[in-house]
Structure 1
Amino acid sequence: MIDHARDLIEAADRGPTDVAAVVRHVGLRATAATLIDEILFRAHLGDLVSESDASVVITLTDGSRETSVLVSVGPKGVLIGRSADVTDLPPVRIVQDVCDTALALYGPRERVSSASREVRWPSPRVMVPRLASNLAVPRIFHAVVQRVLQVLDREEPVRLADLAVRHGTDKWSFLHQYTPHYQRHLGHLRDHPVTVLEIGVGGYDDGEAGGGSLYMWKEFFPRGLIYGLDIADKRALDRPRVTTITADQSDPDALRATAERFGPFDMVIDDGSHMSPHVITSFRTLFPYLKEHGVYAVEDLHGSYWPQLFGGSENDLNDPEYTVGFLKQMVDGLNHEEFLKDDTRAARPTDRTVKSVHFYHNLALVEKGRNEEGSPIANVLRQAPELLGIDRLQ
């Protein structure tokens, strides 16, 4: 299936007219395939465990035209395009205009609308005899329909920790507790059309393993495009809105090529080798491709200290050749306008482009932004050093 999500996200951000133009260009069937894949990804129907089966038909319309997909849920799991053939009830049909659906999934939240939606339950001729014989409609029917409608109404869960557990990433686990920090700093972007690059897909050399973090970000940012960079080929994990890139994070040319093609980024997460030279090279290369007010995250800072696994060192905790020492320099950079002497330290490229730095256990978040507020008092002190009781500033 060709992924048309990028075109739909960009069009939904502009409005209904542009979405309709994409539908005309791509075609109803191809557009519906992308949208229904997105609905099923977010609905997590596989979580619904039941001894009974339920089927729902999702129908997307464009004027008099329509296209449908049958989804069955039951003891055998989730079946797409075919029925479990064990229930004696016909499927529930959820019908909605294709443009309304694209706007609901990929547009600003204020464009979510159920005006064109119909939920068609089986006809009374089917249901009444069943109810009269004391055979209640299985709850699984209601649960499946409710999950789909929650997605169409953009009422999916928003706790990143829940999504981390659901997708099997260790960003919330006995190893790390990163998700509350990410939620605090990124929650306001959840409904924005963001672009995220994560270095390190997971699963080591197994091309079909890993990707849990990418899918977590995909669900957390329902309008986002997610890119995963790894030294191993991880293309088997590609999904709509999730694209993997094979590259070495220690190779600046490869990183620049990635950024030129897919950037600029709202967020970059370094969960790669954890080796200081690689982390520092990645930051220096990719930070210029971070958008204004974007966030650059460096995970697993323990690599800066552990010589056995990651070539780290505890000999000089401020050594800028190691990840934490390199990041610590940015704290002084935040206050570069307060230095009174010309030779306090050499100016660094990030002095004027890093707006904030937040450190947590094993995690640093660097926010890009203009850092040129000025310091009137420092200006006076530099011009009148006698106020400091010294002859001159050097």
Structure 2
Amino acid sequence: MTEQQVRELIDAATRTPGEIDAAIDRIGPATVAAVLLDELGSRADIDELTDYPTIVVEFALSHRGETASHTITTDKGRTTCAPGRPDAPDAVVSQELADLLRGVFGTRGARTNPTRSIAWHHLGEPRAIVGPPHVFTTVRRLLRGSEPVSHDLSELSIRFGSDKWGLHYYTPHYEKYFTPLADLALNILEIGVGGYSHPEWGGGSLRMWKRFFHRSMVYGVDTFDKQAHQRQRIGILQGDQSDVDFLEQALGRTGPLDIVIDDGSHLNSDVLTSFRCLFPHLRPGGLYVVEDVQTSYWPGFGGSSENLDDPATSVGFTKALVDGLNHEEFEPAEARTPTATDRQIGSLHFHHNLVVIEKARNEEGALPVWIPRRPIDRR
């Protein structure tokens, strides 16, 4: 499947039944089933069940009166998906394909799965209920990927090995800003995959964002080769965040962005270059986040603990954005000519080592001229 096909399915999941069926026809029922079962497998956390025996689950998915079988096999904490009917499944999940699509990629209010039924094999044997309920647990894990779930970002950070909780305490702030957006279909870009030069290290926060934003495309940028972390709904882009030409090319793949998280080199010059390039491509209402701004005070990263208003540092630069936020209130008015960025800063939020910038139209108008610009003499 392609990124475009996944995007189309995410969009179709909130459409009318006729539009959903038309999307399945265009993409093909087999491809749609493969996309949805990949999502179920990735959301099931089967890696926690390494001591479980091999479990085979058949998904009998129907579309326009025809049913096709697909198989999910879990073994030693790993999940594989394949088309076709298994010889001896441990359970058979039957469901309309369009219904499963709404469950996996629809909004939470639409996740009802009303056409689903489950047939348990081996229930006629005592071992099915006397022994450990491996089959029940595994199937439940798989099916919860199509049901409404509230995620704790701090727990997800720990689960996936991200440093956004523990080494830092960013996730409580992220929950405040991101929870209202979790049900939307977004384009999310994080600069910095993690793990330095090792190709298989890092990627924890990308997986965290994929799980939290269940309808979004997530992209990671890194100077090193991190293709090992590419997954369905996770794209990897290799390049330098200080290279404007590379960033412009990356935008050709991602499209307009809704969230940007800069967890890259933390060099002050790189932070500013990336912001100036990417912020104009952020959609209205989008959020631009800069992590680890402590480097604004570290000379080794181009920062300064003496010149605190230096616009060449990340904190000095973002503090100046506060003036841009209030550009209409300068006295006299011609004292500041607003920049394009000034007109698009909706709000700024400063936390320990973290800055969150909201993009929104900033042209409310100055206070009325009849309001005195000098204190009233009350003597």
Same fold, TM-score > 0.5, yes or no: yes
Task: Report the CA distance shift for 1:259/1:127 in structure 2 as closer, same or farther (over 3 A).
Answer: closer
State the match for 1:130 in structure 2. 126
Q: Equivalents in 1 of 2:146, 2:160: separation in Å?
A: 21
- Residue 143 of structure 2 is aligned to residue 149 of structure 1: yes
Name the aligned partner's letter for residue 380 of structure 1: W
d(CA) in 2 for partners of 1:260, 1:33? 26
Contact 1:57/1:93 (8 A) holds in 2: yes
Instruction: Give 3-state SS (helix, strand or coil) of 2:62's partner.
Output: strand
- Maintained 8 Å contact 2:37/2:72: no
1:240-281 alpha-carbon deviations (Å, 9 max, x no partner):
111111222112222122224422111011111111111111
Q: Deviations over 1:278-297 (max 9, x none)?
A: 11111111111001110000
Query: How far is the alpha carbon of 1:2 from its aligned partner?
Result: 4.5
Where does residue 312 of structure 1 map in the other structure? 303
In the alignment, structure 1 residue 140 sits paired with structure 2 residue 149: no
2:370 maps to a residue whose letter is V
**Residue matched to 2:68:** 66
- Structure 1, unmatched stretches of 5+, are 83-88, 390-394
Match of 1:355, SS state, is strand
Matching of residues 13-92 of structure 1 within 5 Å: 13-48=14-49, 50=51, 54-62=55-63, 63-73=65-75, 76-80=76-80, 91-92=90-91
> What residue is the counterpart of 2:180 in the other structure?
188
- Structure 2 CA distance for aligned equivalents of residues 79 and 159 of structure 1: 24
Which structure has the bigger radius of gyration? Answer: 1
- Determine the C-alpha separation between the residues in 1 that align with 2:129 and 2:119: 20
What residue in structure 1 maps to residue 330 of structure 2?
Answer: 339
Quick one: structure 1 residues 205 and 138, their matched pair in 2 at CA, closer, same or farther if it must change by over 3 Å?
same
What CA deviation, in whole Å up to 9, does each residue of 1:306-342 have, x standing for no partner? 123x122112111111110000011122222221124
Equivalence for 1:353: 344
Aligned in 2, Cα 1:129/1:167: closer, same or farther, shift over 3 Å?
Answer: closer
TM-score after normalising by structure 2: 0.90
Query: Per-residue CA shift, 1:111-154, capped at 9, x if unaligned?
Result: 223221111112xxx434426xx961522222212222322222
Tell me: CA distance 1:288–1:138, structure 2 relative to 1, closer, same or farther (3 Å): same
- Alpha-carbon shift at residue 15 of structure 1 (Å): 3.2
In structure 1, the partner of 2:85 is: none
2:70–2:81 CA contact under 8 A, matched in 1: no
Structure 2 distance, partners of 1:43, 1:357, is 37
Number of aligned residues = 370
**Percent of matched pairs sharing the same residue:** 41
SS of residue in 2 equivalent to 1:59: strand
Q: Are 1:214 and 2:203 an aligned pair?
A: no
Give the alignment of 1:289-300 within 5 angstroms. Answer: 289-300=281-292
Q: Which residue of 1 aligns with 2:105?
A: 106
* TM-score in terms of structure 1 length: 0.87
Preserved contact between residue 50 and residue 140 of structure 1 (Cα < 8 Å): no
Structure 2: unaligned runs, 5 residues or longer: 83-87
Contact 1:354 1:370 in 2 (8 A): yes
CA distance in 1, matches of 2:103, 2:374: 65
